[in-house]
């Protein structure tokens, strides 16, 4: 029983680590920033992916629209006009590209298309060839390389890429074009076999010397991406701004909650420091009611409690003791 009656606190004063709160806020902030950056990047990439898919669809519309023009010439216009022209013209001399050449028609229609709208000029459609009959259809370096690959790879049908041209980004499609057919050799084999008006118009060297089965053209399409990419960047900037405001709001709430928590913690610690409590077993004399302290000394209940708590005694006398000690002085019954 030597250690009985030892004074114990309510729980003691907790360790104080004010740096932990700041570290927690920093980690939360860094996690939020990483999340925000990843979200902005993901949204930007998603928007660019959608822009590419939209560009792919537009390129298909351009291709189908111009192929429809070729089909119209082949299936309807030429069969209807050739018999009329044969009766009124010299077949060996006469050549009029406006109705005899669908490629010429597609190029001229594309010229009108560009004139109809300012933004249309950014779209590019060309049926290109090496040593093309019209200089307007002559293949550039990239188109030439693709046509040369077509000749050595019959499985190659299409090539797509995002290219920067004159400082602007485009979705570029290169697609396998026409193969030289036997019926076309009259105008593409030797100048002597072609209509004289054709030779006079284009010269005796352009697009001659072709062979049957040769891949002579490729379709080159460019869809502008700058506007779509600019919109993607604009949306990403707006999202970044919203997330930045969210981050500032989050820090504001964290600071408020942290300050409130610290204030409540200080109040609790102050309350704990002001409270002293007795705990454990107290050896008390069965007769005189004195309490033995840790040193083995006996002292009165009043003295012990006063030393080990915040209690202060004020003396009085109960009715039973008053009657026992001072008979006749108690309250009348």
- Is the pLDDT assigned to residue 98 strictly greater than 80? yes
Give whichever of 98-107, 177-186, 283-292, 301-310 has the largest mean pLDDT.
98-107
- Is the pLDDT assigned to residue 87 strictly greater than 70? yes
Structure tokens at 312: 């202060």
Cα–Cα nearest to 216, from 101, 137, 289, 277: 137
Q: pLDDT category, 295, cuts 50, 70, 90?
A: confident
Question: Element (H or E) spanning 116, and its range?
Answer: helix 102-116
CA 309/CA 312 separation, integer angstroms: 9
CA distances from 66 to 7, 8, 58, 114, 121 (A): 98, 94, 12, 14, 16
Cα–Cα nearest to 129, from 197, 191, 177: 177
Burial group, residue 139, by CB count within 10 angstroms (0-12, 13-18, 19+): buried
Map tokens 């111009």 to a residue: 66
CA 130/CA 43 separation, integer angstroms: 42
Cβ pair 176, 157 in contact under 8 A: yes
Greater model confidence, 66 or 317 = 66
pLDDT recorded at residue 192: 93
Question: What confidence tens digit (pLDDT) does each residue in 105-159 have?
Answer: 999 999 999 999 888 889 999 999 999 999 999 999 999 999 999 988 989 999 9
Q: Please provide the average confidence, as pLDDT, over all residues in the chain.
A: 85
Q: Average the pLDDT over each of 162-166, 201-205, 276-280, 288-292 and give the range with the smallest value.
A: 276-280
Considering only CA atoms, give the Rg of the chain: 49
CA distances from 111 to 107, 114, 115, 132 (A): 6, 5, 7, 18
Report the SS3 class of residue 172: strand
Taking the domains of the chain in order of start, what are their residue ranges? 282-325
């Amino acid at each position: 029983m030597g250690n009985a009656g030892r004074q114990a606190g309510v729980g003691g004063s907790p360790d104080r680590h004010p740096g932990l709160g700041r570290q927690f806020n920093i980690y939360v902030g860094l996690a939020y920033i990483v999340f925000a950056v990843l979200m902005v990047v993901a949204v930007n990439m998603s928007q660019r992916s959608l822009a590419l898919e939209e560009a792919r669809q537009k390129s298909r519309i351009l291709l189908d629209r111009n192929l429809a023009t070729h089909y119209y010439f082949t299936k309807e216009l030429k069969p209807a006009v050739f018999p009329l022209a044969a009766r009124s013209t010299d077949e060996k001399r006469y050549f009029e590209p406006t109705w005899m050449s669908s490629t010429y028609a597609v190029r001229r229609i594309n010229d009108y298309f560009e004139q109809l709208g300012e933004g249309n000029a950014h779209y590019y459609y060309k049926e290109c060839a090496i040593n093309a009959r019209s200089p307007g259809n002559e293949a550039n370096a990239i188109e030439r390389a693709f046509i040369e690959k077509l000749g050595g790879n019959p499985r190659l049908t299409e090539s797509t890429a995002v290219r920067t041209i004159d400082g602007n980004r485009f979705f570029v499609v290169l697609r396998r074009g026409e193969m030289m057919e036997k019926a076309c050799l009259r105008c593409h084999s030797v100048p002597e076999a072609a209509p004289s008006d054709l030779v006079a118009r284009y010269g005796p060297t352009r697009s001659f010397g072709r062979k049957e089965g040769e891949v002579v053209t490729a379709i080159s399409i460019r869809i502008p991406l700058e506007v779509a990419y600019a919109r993607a960047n604009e949306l990403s900037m707006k999202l970044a701004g919203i997330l930045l405001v969210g981050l500032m709001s989050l820090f504001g709430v964290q600071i408020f909650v942290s300050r409130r928590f610290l204030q409540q913690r200080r109040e609790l610690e102050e309350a704990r420091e002001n409270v002293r409590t007795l705990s454990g077993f107290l050896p008390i004399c069965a007769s005189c009611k004195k309490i033995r302290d840790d040193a083995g000394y006996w002292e009165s209940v009043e003295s012990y409690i006063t030393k080990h708590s915040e209690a202060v005694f004020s003396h009085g006398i109960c009715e039973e003791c008053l009657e026992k000690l001072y008979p006749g002085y108690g309250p009348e019954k």
